[in-house]
Structure 1
Amino acid sequence: MRVHVVSDVHGNSEALAKAGDGADALVCLGDLVLFLDYADHSRGIFPDLFGVENADRIVALRTARRFEEARDLGRSLWADLDIDRDTAIEFAVRRQYAELFAAFPAPTYATYGNVDIPGLWPEYAGPGTTVLDGERVEIGGRVFGFVGGGLRTPMRTPYEVSDEEYAAKVEALGEVDVLCSHIPPEVPELTYDTVARRFERGSGALLAAIRRTRPKYALFGHVHQPLARRMRIGATECVNVGHFAATGRPWALEW
């Protein structure tokens, strides 16, 4: 059995269409939407609406962790538009989702990232795509558990939930062979981004579940340039499957 795993697709539909080649199934760990590419500020919903210069400004503020100033800039830019903020974002996200979901091979098992909008997924997920969040599924005789979204941060991305709600989703999985999530367990080496030079939020509930239930693998994304891409926690191999938008390469799991 061979399963390909991707995360942080961020608009790379061309590579996504090939991600299942040679595999029995594809697993996607979220962040389909590209709102703003921190490596190329000309790409994404934000520069399409406000231009590259403003994208440069807001990335600089966020990188410096000046989040209030970044929010003030964002509010002023939206105020100058002739269209409602939510309407503009939903229109742009729908356009991306139409292209990205069409690129999924069958079968695909997917969960949400923190920048995704779960309420729109049922409209685009075809019969070959199974969406799971706080749920489990058997693939090739192994039990995969899925936990979508992220925890609350100053970035205020679309699908962030409380620590309690997130922990409840992890608890609902029980014992699994492969624990799949968008964000990593709360381990410094796995949550630190070496380019952004900051710790992203990891989950203590995921870490506790790994120590308690000892899955064979814990797979995740979210941190684009992690200090450590993989490490063992007891019996569990923890793997950041990579920033698919940049690499275009899935991570392969075989048994």
Structure 2
Amino acid sequence: MRVHVVSDVHGNSGALARAGDGADALICLGDLVLFLDYADHSRGIFPDLFGVANADRIVELRTARRFDEARDFGRSLWAGLAVDRATAIEAAVRRQYAELFAAFPTPTYATYGNVDIPTLWPEYAAPGTTVLDGERIELGGLVLGFVGGGLHSPMRTPYEISEEEYAAKVEALGEVDILCSHIPPEVPELTYDTVARRFERGSTALLDAIRRTRPRYALFGHVHQPLARRMRIGATECVNVGHFASTGRPFALEW
């Protein structure tokens, strides 16, 4: 059995269409949407709406962790649009989802990232794409569990939930061979982004589950430039399988 795994696609539909080549299945751990590319400020929903100069400014504020100023600046820009914020974002996300979901090979098993909008996924997921969140499947004789979304953060992205709700989804999986999530377990080396120079939110519930149930692998994304891309926690190999938007290369698992 050969499975390719990607996360943090962020609009890279071209590479996504090739991500399943040579594999029996593709796993996607979320963040399909590209709202703002921190490496190229001309790409994404934000610069399309407000221009590159404003994208430069909001990246500068967020990188400096001046989140309140960034939110105030963003509000002033949204207030100047002819349509309301929700309408503008949904229209842009729909355009991206139409292209990205069409690029998924069959079969694909996917869960949500923190920048995704789960309510829209049923409209775009074709029969060959199975969406899982707090659920498990059997694949090639192994059990895989999926946990989507992220935890509340200063970024206030679309699919952030409470630690209690997240932990309930992890608990619902039980023992699995491969634990698949968008965010990493709460380990400093796995949550620190060396380019953004900040810790992203990791999950203590995931870390507890890894220590308790000892899956073979814990696969995740979310942190684009982590201090450590992989490390072992007990019997479990923890692997950051992103940032696919930048690399265009899936992580391959064989068993």
> Which amino acid counterpart does residue 200 of structure 2 have in structure 1?
E
Give the structure 2 partner of residue 243 of structure 1.
243
Distance 1:86 1:167 in 2: 29
Give the Cα separation in 1 of the matches to 2:145 and 2:59: 34
Match of 2:16 in 1: 16
Which residues of 2 match residues 31-110 of structure 1 at below 5 A? 31-110=31-110
Q: Which residue of 1 aligns with 2:149?
A: 149
Partner of 2:178: 178
- 1:3 Cα offset (Å): 0.1
Q: Secondary structure at the match of 2:136?
A: strand
Q: List gaps (5 residues or longer) in structure 1.
A: none
Deviation >3 Å, runs of 4+:
none
What one-letter code is carried by the residue in structure 2 that aligns with 1:191? T
Structure 1 residue 242: deviation in Å?
1.9
SS in 1 for 2:109: strand
Cα shift at 1:79: 0.5
Give, in whole Å, the separation in 2 of the partners of 1:39 and 1:104: 25
Task: Measure, in 1, the Cα distance between the counterparts of 2:8 and 2:75.
Answer: 26
Match of 2:229 in 1: 229
CA distance in structure 2 between the aligned counterparts of 1:80 and 1:228, rounded to whole angstroms: 41
Percent identity over the alignment is: 89
Note the 1:199-238 alignment, pairs <5 A: 199-238=199-238
Distance of 1:68 and 1:170 partners within structure 2: 32
How large is the Cα RMSD of the aligned pairs?
0.3
User: 1:63-119 CA distances to partner (integer Å, 9 max, x unpaired)?
Assistant: 000001000000000111101100000000000000000000000000000000000
2: CA distance between counterparts of 1:139 and 1:22? 16
TM-score with structure 2 setting the length:
1.00
How many Å apart are 1:30 and its aligned residue? 0.1
**Residue number in structure 2 paired with 1:187:** 187
Residue type of the partner of 1:57?
Answer: R
Cα distance between partner residues in 2 of 1:104 and 1:229: 25
- State the distance in 1 between where 2:138 and 2:236 align: 19
The number of residue pairs the alignment matches comes to 255
Question: For the residues of structure 2 that align with 1:222 and 1:79, how far apart are their CA atoms?
Answer: 29
Distance 1:157 1:178 in 2: 26
Residue 116 in structure 1 maps to residue 116 in structure 2: yes
